[in-house]
Structure 1
């Protein structure tokens, strides 16, 4: 196993055609985008998230992407073979050509990183076969081919941690470097929160996790249910929400439910006990009842 943050140290040639296999919420998407941003900076290129471009800017970039580094994240279950090459009759009437969506056209010309998420959630057989040639040759459909300057990274969850996840076909696995990844350390998570949110998050979460690092990621025993559970992603959400709730002096019952709704009751009760013991008592209007519940 490697920590997800260690991906940042890999050279592009090694990361290319890699499947990041790990639990939900540990930061696979965040790290991959961070990798793309840092690589763009290292190469002196302007980073562009293709999801944030309007159509006019996308068409302009498709014509000239010199000096840019493009990034596109897509969920694998949302990619269908028929989406890549769209048939269009030519004027002669007896032949057709194939059109390519503008963002895929950009990926056929530019330097960048193509992140294919939720790979283990693909159900349709034709979708799975579609990824064989895309991963191995960078080719899909009749007319679309990835630029050789594009890094392809895939991610997925083990079936033991996601009810939607399924094992991948052996021919596809054989085309990939499979890296089993685990969560970041608590210090790495806290540094990420500082970098991403500045002062707009509740630092008590970091202090709590430093005292109990095992609480950072506790996957559920069953792959489906209705109880929340702690992951770096859910702690991130909770830390931001607590900062907002603290600013409006929210009722302690609401605070407790937000905590439980993000990290579950078992871990949430431990965190609440820690959290309530370190903040001003006037934050709560009925603190004694909240402590009793914990």
Structure 2
């Protein structure tokens, strides 16, 4: 098993057709996008997140993507074979052609990374067959072909951690390199928060996790329920929310509920004892190395 952050050091040829298998909220999506952005920078290309393009810009890019690196993340359960090739009658009336959605058309022509998330949540047999062809041959339907310059990365949760997750068929697994991944270190998570949020997060979360690194990720005891549990994703959400609540001077009961709602009562109570101590919050809101310098 490797840390999710270690995939950042893989060459594109190794990352291609890889399945990242790990717990929910450990950073599979964030790290994959970070990899795509960094690869675009190394290749001197302009990074483009296809989810953020309007239809007009997407059509222009489909016609000319020279110098661009495209990125598209999709949830596998939301993609169906009929979405790829849409029937279109030809004028003669006795034959049909097939249309391809513009973002998939871009992936057939451009350099980029196609991230297929929640792969272990796919239920329908025809969807699974669709992904067999996509992963092995880079094609699907009657007319869509994936560009050989596109890296395909898949991700999924372990069945023991998600009630929706299921084992994958052996023929599909045989088409993939399976990486079992675990969460980043606390230092890696804190560095990520600094890069992404600057001063707009509560650094007390980082200091608490440094005191107890095991609290960064505590998978649920049962794969379904109503109790929150700590993951890098939920700590990220909590750190941002606490920064906002600090600005409005929210009362302690409200703060406690926000904490419990993100990381659960067991871990949340430990964090609250730390956070609501007599240590001034400004102590944690200084520069990232404030604790070491004081």
Asked if TM exceeds 0.5, the reply is yes
Q: Secondary structure at the match of 1:179?
A: strand
Query: 1:131 & 1:288 partners in 2: Cα distance?
Result: 44
Mark the CA change 1:56 to 1:289 in structure 2 (over 3 Å): closer, same or farther.
closer
Q: Secondary structure at the match of 2:160?
A: helix
Q: Deviations for 1:184-211, whole angstroms, at most 9, x for unmatched residues?
A: 0000000000000000000000000000
The number of equivalent residue pairs is 294
Q: Deviations for 1:245-293, whole angstroms, at most 9, x for unmatched residues?
A: 0010001000000000000000000000000114449999999999999
Query: 1:37 & 1:287 partners in 2: Cα distance?
Result: 26
Q: Secondary structure at the match of 2:142?
A: coil
TM-score by length of 2: 0.95
**Structure 2: which 5+ runs fail to align?**
none
Query: 2:288 & 2:198 partners in 1: Cα distance?
Result: 32
**Contact 1:281/1:287 (8 A) holds in 2:** no
Mark the CA change 1:292 to 1:145 in structure 2 (over 3 Å): closer, same or farther.
closer
Query: 2:287 & 2:256 partners in 1: Cα distance?
Result: 11
**Contact 1:87/1:99 (8 A) holds in 2:** yes
Mark the CA change 1:100 to 1:289 in structure 2 (over 3 Å): closer, same or farther.
closer
Query: 1:167 & 1:219 partners in 2: Cα distance?
Result: 19
Query: 1:34 & 1:281 partners in 2: Cα distance?
Result: 31
Query: 1:13 & 1:209 partners in 2: Cα distance?
Result: 35
**Structure 1: which 5+ runs fail to align?**
none
**Contact 1:249/1:284 (8 A) holds in 2:** no
Show the counterpart of 2:21: 21
Mark the CA change 1:11 to 1:283 in structure 2 (over 3 Å): closer, same or farther.
closer
Mark the CA change 1:185 to 1:282 in structure 2 (over 3 Å): closer, same or farther.
closer
**Contact 1:116/1:154 (8 A) holds in 2:** yes
Show the counterpart of 1:209: 209
**Contact 1:252/1:285 (8 A) holds in 2:** no
Q: Secondary structure at the match of 1:278?
A: coil
Q: Secondary structure at the match of 1:245?
A: helix
**Contact 1:46/1:67 (8 A) holds in 2:** yes
Query: 1:178 & 1:73 partners in 2: Cα distance?
Result: 19
Mark the CA change 1:246 to 1:167 in structure 2 (over 3 Å): closer, same or farther.
same
**Contact 1:252/1:286 (8 A) holds in 2:** no
**Contact 1:250/1:284 (8 A) holds in 2:** no
* Cα RMSD (Å): 5.1
Query: 2:231 & 2:115 partners in 1: Cα distance?
Result: 21
Q: Deviations for 1:6-61, whole angstroms, at most 9, x for unmatched residues?
A: 01000000000000000000000000000000000000000000000000000000
Mark the CA change 1:104 to 1:288 in structure 2 (over 3 Å): closer, same or farther.
closer
